[in-house]
A and B are shown apart, each in its own frame.
Chain A
Amino acid sequence: MHIVVCIKQVPDSAQIRVHPVTNTIMRQGVPTIINPYDLFALEAALQLRDKFGGEVTVLTMGPPSAEDSLRRALTYGADRAVLLTDRFFAGADTLATTYALATAIRKISETFGAPDIVFTGKQTIDGDTAQVGPGIAKRLGLLQLTYVARINEVDPAARTIEAERRSEGGVQVLKTRLPCLVTMLEATNEIRRGGMADALRAARAQIVTWSAKDAGVEDISKCGLKGSPTIVKRVFAPSARAEKAVFVDFSNKPPAEALIEELFKRQPKLEAELISSAHGF
């Protein structure tokens, strides 16, 4: 079984700082991590490999420094890492990103064997779009299972997969054919620690590094900024509300009483609404 896992190296969002004057992201000194959602995809892939044998290839598109995340993925137990890096890819929106990744997956297929499953995380923490998984699937003509909470069964001989997919108000149990693309939901598994052997192997591993040309990109105008139908025209910090919060003065009564009085003074109907809400009618 050959499984490809697409990952993204992202800034650790908890530590992002915005420059107060220029409104740009201050990247200097911000540590990067593997997009946390991608780790659930990676672990799901590793579990299938452990069960059925085969290989897990991790793929990322990014600057040369994204190699760090690929090595990290190798320490968890991935077998091979492919870095897609080229200045032509810079500034890609989701459509241009899926073009590049789909092209690279075709090249991976030719070079290392056709994948049975392509995994991605549910979304990234920096873009938050959840569009890249479905986009790759569409470009490669793969069936897609998004928001997968659990993979119930994979039958490599019959070429089928059965999975539980989170949907509105419940879970769909779906069965489809391989090859397919799966986006994993968060908190569905826990990434393994990886053994000493994996750590040693990861440190020495040769990262397969492809430029656009190496990956077989035929039309450079479909990549990066040029290949992106969306244009970011303006980046800005949200404006402050005109008036700030009114602070409740509780110097001469209990704070809880002072607060409730302020609320009911502002919204006279609130008390009646709260009573009906509290009593369920």
Chain B
Amino acid sequence: MSEPTKATPAAAGRAATKKELPEHFKAYKHVWVFIEQERGQVHPVSWELMGAGRKLADKLKVDLAAVVIGPPGEAVQHAAAESFCYGADLAYIVADAVLMDYRNEAYTKALTDTVNTFKPEILLLGATTLGRDLAGSVATTLLTGLTADCTELDVDADGSLAATRPTFGGSLLCTIYTLNYRPQMATVRPRVMPMPDRVEKPATRIIEHKLGLVEEDIVTKILSFIPDRDSAKSNLAYADIVVAGGLGLGSPENFQLVKGLAAVLGAEFGCSRPLVQKGWVTSDRQIGQTGKTIRPKLYIAAGISGAIQHRVGVEGADLIVAINTDKNAPIFDFAHVGIVTDAIRLLPALTEAFRARLSPHSRDRIAS
């Protein structure tokens, strides 16, 4: 990503930067999505990217391809077949025993070789730990541009990828182009793009590509994998209901009020960036540009002012409820429902009111 500070003063001149795609890049066509699968599970961000990729491919009138990399067997075949249900026109598979678990060396070679052989114009990856590790290596190997953590992808009139991302911790947005290099690469964080509907479709065109590596070629060895304990796992990004707190709570003790409401609603809890910086809450609970992006049906923000860095992480929520004492707080610019009051007083009352409403007794009432 170019540094916007340096680019901004020259924006007028830069906007004139011409597209002069070298001849050897003109054969690059089609949109690809890297399908991230580990231990037999496809990361949902891959399907979210298929939805975004489908739109780009339709606009460009080209194919959308899924690229699945992993060990030979059921999981990889299934992921490739599944990609057709999320909009793929074709799928590439690189399957080899050395691709059993993610290792940078082998996956970089697999993806780089596939790109060099089949020449896509756009390559999208999820901005997960795996996707970021891989994308950085692949883009450097291919000497092309890579735009990280995009929040919007589009193609402009001349068919170039316009990748928009927040910058400076989300104080501004910038639109970045890779005009004269191919493929145009971008990563997108989980939950930023909506999950497309799954439509049953037959797997038609699957192209297998050989890796050409043996285990002895790969220096890095995996000694073990320690799965996270269930209790440590948070499903924040994919939760249907999220309750979060910010500096307006005043003290780490008051954060319990957020957890209390979350418990009654069967929700996940989260927080804004300052609470992580103050050490009140652990970083895996942070919501926003540098934390998790969420798309719940209901989001309740208590004592959060609503800096842009927070806003970009919650805008996909169906219903945003903001509780804040300051009626001019920026959060009321993007919340749907606001209530101007002190979250410290409202949260316990809200918890009790929801508890009463949501008791098994009220469930019968709804059923009848």
Contact = CB atoms under 8 A, between A and B. Distances in A.
B145 A138 contact: no
Nearest to B345: A255
Interface string B309-334: 00110000011111000010001111
B349 A260 contact: no
A129 B139 contact: no
Nearest to B322: A245
Interface in A61-97: 90-95
Contacts of B178: 229-231
A149 to B, nearest CB: 10
A175 interface: yes
B116 interface: no
Nearest to B363: A275
Given A24-B8, A170-B226, A238-B308, A186 B297 contact: no
A270 B337 CA distance: 14
Interface in B137-177: 137, 139-141, 143-149, 162, 167-169, 171-177
A255 B267 contact: no
Contacts of A193: none
Contacts of A275: 358, 362-363, 366
Interface in A166-190: 166-177, 186-187
Interface string A118-143: 00000001111111111101110001
Contacts of A254: 349, 353
User: Which range contains the number of A residues in contact with the other chain?
Assistant: 35 or more
Nearest to B36: A168
A277 B4 contact: no
Nearest to B341: A255
Contacts of A241: 333-334
A274 interface: yes
Interface in A229-262: 229-238, 240-241, 244-248, 250, 254-260, 262
Contact of B38 (A168, A229, A234): A168
Contacts of B169: 13, 16, 125-126, 128
Given A91-B3, A128-B289, A167-B129, A274 B354 contact: yes
A9 B108 CA distance: 30
- Specify the main secondary structure of chain A where it touches its partner: mixed
Interface residues of B, number: 111
Given A23-B8, A245-B338, A138 B140 contact: yes
Contacts of A51: none
B363 A233 contact: no
Nearest to B223: A173
Kindly name the residue among B226, B332, B333, B336 whose own CB sees the greatest number of chain A CB atoms within 10 A. Answer: B336
Contact of A131 (B9, B36, B132, B175): B132
A133 B132 CA distance: 11
Given A143-B105, A146-B132, A248-B337, A94 B171 contact: no
A108 B274 CA distance: 38
Contact of A95 (B14, B102, B143, B180): B143
Contacts of B77: none
A175 B223 contact: yes
B127 to A, nearest CB: 8
B346 A90 contact: no
B188 to A, nearest CB: 13
A245 B331 CA distance: 9
A135 B139 contact: yes
Contacts of A126: 167-169
B339 interface: yes
Kindly name the residue among A11, A94, A174, A229 whose own CB sees the greatest number of chain B CB atoms within 10 A. Answer: A229
A270 B318 CA distance: 11
Interface of A: 11, 13-14, 16, 18, 22-25, 27, 90-95, 98, 125-135, 137-139, 143-147, 162, 164, 166-177, 186-187, 225, 228-238, 240-241, 244-248, 250, 254-260, 262-263, 266-267, 270-275, 277-280
14 contacts: A24-B9, A25-B171, A126-B169, A131-B132, A134-B133, A138-B137, A147-B129, A167-B129, A168-B38, A172-B225, A267-B319, A270-B319, A274-B241, A275-B366
Interface of B: 1-9, 11, 14-15, 17, 36, 38-39, 43, 101-105, 108, 128-130, 132-133, 135-137, 139-141, 143-149, 162, 167-169, 171-181, 219-228, 233, 240-241, 264-267, 277, 283, 289-290, 297-298, 308, 311-312, 318-322, 327, 331-341, 346, 349-350, 352-354, 357-358, 360, 362-363, 366
